[in-house]
Chain A
Amino acid sequence: MATAISTAPDLAWTKKISSPQELASFRQAILASLDPNAPRIRVCCGTGCKAVGSLDVLEAMKTAVAAAGVDVHVMPEVKRTGCHGFCSRGPLLTLEPQGLFYQRVKSEDTAEIVQKTIIGGEVIPRFLYKPPGSKEAIAKVSDIPFFAKQTKLVLKRVGRIDPFDIRDAIAAGAYEGIAKVLAEMTPQQVIEEIKVSRLRGRGGAGFPTGVKWESCAGQAGRHYVICNGDEGDPGAFMDASVMEGDPHAVLEGMAIAAYAMGSDRGFLYVRMEYPLAVQTLTAAIRQAEDLGLLGQNILGTDFSFRVSVSTGAGAFVCGESSALMSSLEGKVGRPRAKYIRSTEKGFRDSPSNLNNVETYANVPEIILRGGQWYTTYGTERSTGTKVFSLTGNVHNVGLVEVPMGTSLKDIVFGIGGGVPNKKELKAVQTGGPSGGCIPIPSKFIDINVGFGKLAEIGSMMGSGGMIVMDENTCMVEISRYFINFLVEESCGQCTPCREGLTRMREILSRITQGEGREGDIELLEEIGQFTNNFSLCGLGTSAANPVLSTIRYFRDEYEAHIRDKKCPAGVCKPLYYYEIDSEKCTGCGVCRKRCPAAAIEGEKKKPHTIHQELCIKCMECYRNCKFDSIRIM
């Protein structure tokens, strides 16, 4: 998909930084050239904001600033979640040095903002954020609960720096970790520091990173350092925002890993659906090489490390480590059995270390501040922070970084702002398609989110997707949705996953179409357990989780579909219909105008009716009725 980018500065003419010490003076020089009190406008250009036209706003802002003749530095702030759930209300701006937060900004507003806020120092109230249910507008970023309740370690630079300008990243502290490593640490010391931090892989399995590095470093042969940026879980975009917003954190983490394991070659495998991440990473690598922070003789030392970006071609299974390596080799991505670990024989049959984007992004800070410091965040068994992508039926959709062990309630209500449209919260789904649905309201709202806790209640951490579901979500249908996704994405080489999933989809489809039979639930449980027990790879052995967890917690809903032929949530089309409550209907006509099938009739200010034979159940009327008069029957 076409994306306009800001031009990256050409640094090829610059002298390479020739020693770790020189990096510090380079940074000081950049900082000295910046006036901390200079006005600065950051335009969020993450995918969410871009979808609502932030690139136009960026251009308009540049033009407006030029026209006004003030000295302002316009930086594209690439933060996919940058919008923090306000994406739906348009592109975002932050204004420094005041720390103002403007939302729903349009191109035509830019001149006014420059005149009033930048030159006049005046806050324009209509751009400010109002929390749900509150009349008080909040002007400053730091006062908005969504931000105030987060702890940003991985995302600390995301949204603050221009990802296309390495000088910005260096000014904010990038590459200090690799400089420290090269100046004063041995590879063993690096591994030891990571072990002390008890950092666990953020891709889903939660394997201790230091242990993995140690076992890879101990192997003979050429070592490869690979980054898994194939964030395939639908509804998850944390890795994307790190790669798009702060590519240098990932590259620096990889370089440190390469030093620790004695590798000189790295690969970043990025999903093709993330064209912006490919652009930011490619630009970042080029600039880092120009400055001698990557490539040959990094910072004037003997250590060399070359990284390149490879793109996937649309296969969920390539997020699995052995499948990813096979895809990197230009082949189909099918997982292999792991009697021999990839750290012994992986990419090109050589020792290969694969970590997730977020894992690498954690590394530089651990090196700088020490492993012990890292353990002060999180819990005993899950240290540090975790980025979650909070989506679905929640007020503040966005990326949320919290210490491990934060309760679900704090995330969904404290930061997420709860469920919109006065609906009831029904479940929280974590762990991507092969994760599980946690029922709420129940005691689970207070559980502390960590690797162990989620597994205990039948879900998993996964890569960090967190999807909030309201009362209008049918759990049978959502489990059919996930299974259908997995059927399409199953690589098909092992029978339990290929056949088990297909059979489960058949049964679930039948149930959602009103043709469920007695015994279906038990059959699903049997097939599910078999699939989970006997599949080859990690994806297969968790593939039945959506079915098993929804049966475990929402069995009555399955029974309503099968026995009563009713879909209580109003999702499975043959099992419900819409009706207009004539008591509540004010005859405003919104539903009539919105209905794409012309199935709604009624006079102005009189109760409307739905012609059932015409209704296509698209939900348009239900979603848009302000008087709650459309009922699910």
Chain B
Amino acid sequence: MPESEATCCQEPEVDFVVLDRIIRDEFGGRREAMIMMMQTIQRRYRYLPEPALYYLSQVLGVPITKIYEVATFYASFSLVPKGKHLLHVCTGTACHLKGSGGMVRHVAAKLGIAPGATTPDMKFTLETVNCLGACAVSPVVVFDDKYYPQATVGQLNEFIEKVNAE
């Protein structure tokens, strides 16, 4: 993942030069490339900042409601900032058979947040993902972009402890 501008605790300053580069230069301002523009914006800010979406709406001439529709329809988009550390638990069928559902419940209970949510201190975001295609080494979790094959509840506890110790 490219370097993120934003740190966890502050609202990012949206840089319109950067947005222009994404919308006009990289994707030629094409309406059809809107989803990919939004993905690029999200990669930069780790979520979709509201001012960026308004700007997108203005440049593309697409009503903001349509952009909001797309942003809420697709699971990968987030309208709220993510925590500093991201934990993805794969809940694909193979991982599910090996107990990934219990892992999600365990972490959710331990952190006091629902899957998809971020802890109030903005340190930890818990996400589920439908299938990472690494079914042979299930259950799989991805913590801060690193894959952990055959993950255990004990390992998840270690992640949480590590983050809490920061």
Contact = CB atoms under 8 A, between A and B. Distances in A.
B38 interface: yes
Contacts of B58: none
B99 interface: yes
Contacts of B130: 232, 234, 273, 314, 316, 485
A311 interface: yes
Contacts of B1: 1-2
Interface stretch (A191-199, A204-212, A531-539, A616-624): A616-624
Given A313-B77, A316-B130, A51 B147 contact: yes
A520 B74 CA distance: 33
A228 interface: no
- Most chain A CB within a 10 A radius of its CB, from B77, B142, B154: B154
A465 interface: yes
A316 B92 CA distance: 12
A617 B102 contact: yes
Given A1-B1, A83-B136, A332 B39 contact: no
Interface string A222-245: 000000000011111100100000
B136 A85 contact: yes
B99 A619 contact: yes
A346 B102 CA distance: 42
A357 to B, nearest CB: 13
A594 interface: yes
Interface in A83-116: 83, 85-88
Interface stretch (B12-20, B26-34, B117-125): B26-34
Interface residues of B, number: 50
Contacts of A313: 35, 38-39, 70, 74-77
Contact of B129 (A273, A332, A469): A273
A329 B32 contact: yes
Interface in A281-327: 310-316, 327
Given A2-B145, A234-B130, A481-B96, A48 B137 contact: yes
A146 B138 CA distance: 20
A547 interface: no
Given A330-B35, A391-B138, A618 B99 contact: yes
Interface in A461-475: 465, 467, 469, 473
B149 interface: yes
A596 B154 contact: yes
Interface string B91-135: 111101101011100100000000000000000000001111111
A81 B108 CA distance: 31
A624 to B, nearest CB: 9
A433 to B, nearest CB: 8
A393 interface: yes
A392 B150 CA distance: 13
A392 B135 CA distance: 8
Contacts of B35: 310-313, 327, 330
A50 interface: yes
B132 A87 contact: no
B152 interface: yes
Interface string B127-166: 0011111111110101001011110111001000000000
A478 B96 CA distance: 9
A391 B94 contact: yes
A274 interface: yes
Interface residues of A, number: 64
Contacts of B136: 48, 81, 83, 85-88, 391, 397-398
Nearest to B156: A596
- Most chain A CB within a 10 A radius of its CB, from B77, B92, B97: B97
A586 B79 CA distance: 53
Contacts of A310: 35-36
A328 to B, nearest CB: 7
Contacts of A618: 99, 102-103, 106, 153
Nearest to B32: A330
A315 B133 contact: no
A328 B32 contact: yes
A630 to B, nearest CB: 14
B10 to A, nearest CB: 24
A2 to B, nearest CB: 5
B11 interface: no
Contact of A331 (B70, B101, B132): B70
Contact of B97 (A236, A331, A465, A467): A467
Contacts of A473: 97
A429 interface: yes
Given A389-B135, A398-B136, A618-B102, A51 B36 contact: no
A566 interface: no
Contact of B134 (A48, A328, A392): A48
Nearest first, the 10 A-B pairs at minimum CB distance are A234-B92, A313-B74, A235-B93, A314-B75, A87-B136, A314-B76, A237-B133, A330-B34, A234-B131, A51-B147
Interface of A: 1-2, 47-48, 50-52, 80-81, 83, 85-88, 232-237, 240, 272-274, 310-316, 327-333, 389, 391-393, 397-398, 429, 433, 465, 467, 469, 473, 478, 481-482, 485, 488, 491, 594, 596, 616-620, 623
Given A314-B76, A596-B157, 9 more contacts: A87-B136, A232-B130, A234-B91, A235-B92, A236-B131, A273-B133, A310-B36, A327-B35, A389-B135
15 contacts: A1-B142, A47-B132, A48-B136, A87-B136, A235-B93, A314-B130, A329-B31, A330-B33, A332-B70, A392-B94, A433-B93, A473-B97, A618-B153, A619-B102, A620-B153
